[in-house]
Amino acid sequence: MSYPHGLVTWSDLSSPDVPGAKAFYSAVLGWEAEDIEDEGELVYTMFRAGGKLAAGLGKQSAEMTEHGFPPLWTTYINVDDVDAIAAAFTDHGGELVVPPVDVMDNGRMAYGMDPTGAAIGFWQAGTHTGAEAFNDPGFLTWNELTTRDSAAAREFYTAILPWRVTEDDMGEFMYYTFWLDERPTAGIMTMDETWPDDLPAHWMTYFRVGDADAAVAAVTEAGGAVPVPPFDTPLGRVAVINDPNGGTFSIVGPAPEE
């Protein structure tokens, strides 16, 4: 399996409590955890849904802690050459937090903050190509940049990736979508004065669930929180979730009429 340059293909969680995160996400999203060890040390956990790779989990790194990152779900964009993307990233105003580095034979990655302050990852595939399914329950269904400067973000990402942008008038706000050829791959939500002042720019990971309300019930039972309770959108029923350590993600279930 291979994915084209510029497609969002993976998301993983950096958490200070790996055992707790495994228990929480297994309870909420039905994932099975598969640990990867190197010389007897746990280095990463792969989450599977129905036997297929869905997402990842790792111990929060010292680099992230030093940069003040909370427990965080990171969006990864598949690229053909991570070193070339890292160079373009910094040339256009991004700040690398983790320069290009090999991850055993799994692939090569880089990680940084875009000019609006949102953390983003890039992945050059080796033996690991990314999620093995999308849009089904338990799998990635959308990734969205939330920022106060969507104009700067649109200019930045279209300069370093083969993306184009469309805009949709949602009435109270404009919504922007990044496209790779004819495939929507990510979105942009613009924060205005109604958003909390201390909320930084960030990429939000959305996972598909079979029933948003049932998933929210599982979240509270497993010790998580629901800062944004389920609400209906034209594309499904959405809720924002905090895991017990503060990792934030969103779920999307079928709309009621579906």
Residue 240 confidence class, pLDDT cut points 50, 70, 90: very high
Phi/psi at 29 (5° precision): -110, 0
What is the rounded distance in angstroms from the CA atom of residue 251 to the CA atom of residue 238?
6
CATH class of 140-253: alpha beta
Per-residue model confidence as pLDDT tens digits over 69-115: 788 899 999 999 999 999 999 999 999 999 999 998 999 999 999 99
Looking at per-residue pLDDT, the higher value among 173 and 229 belongs to 229
Coil, strand or helix: which one is 181?
coil
In this prediction the pTM is 0.93
Per-residue model confidence as pLDDT tens digits over 142-151: 999 999 999 9
Q: What is the pLDDT of residue 233?
A: 85
- Cβ atoms within 10 A of the Cβ of 92, count? 14
Q: What is the pLDDT of residue 42?
A: 77
What is the rounded distance in angstroms from the CA atom of residue 186 to the CA atom of residue 180?
9
Coil, strand or helix: which one is 12?
strand
Domain with CATH 3.10.180.10 in the chain: 8-125, 140-253
CB-based burial, 77-89: b 16+ in 10 Å, e otherwise? bbbeebeebbebb
Per-residue model confidence as pLDDT tens digits over 14-69: 998 999 999 999 999 999 999 987 766 778 999 999 999 999 999 887 766 676 67
The H or E element containing residue 91 is helix 82-91
Q: What is the pLDDT of residue 102?
A: 95
Per-residue model confidence as pLDDT tens digits over 184-230: 999 999 998 888 888 899 999 999 999 999 999 999 999 999 999 99
Match domain 8-125 to its CATH number in 3.10.180.10, 3.90.550.10, 3.10.450.350, 1.10.3720.10.
Answer: 3.10.180.10
Phi/psi class of residue 50: alpha, beta or left (left: φ > 0; alpha: ψ in -120 to 50)?
left
Q: What is the pLDDT of residue 173?
A: 81
Q: Is the pLDDT of residue 10 over 60?
A: yes
What is the rounded distance in angstroms from the CA atom of residue 190 to the CA atom of residue 149?
7
Query: What is the average per-residue pLDDT within 136-141?
Result: 96
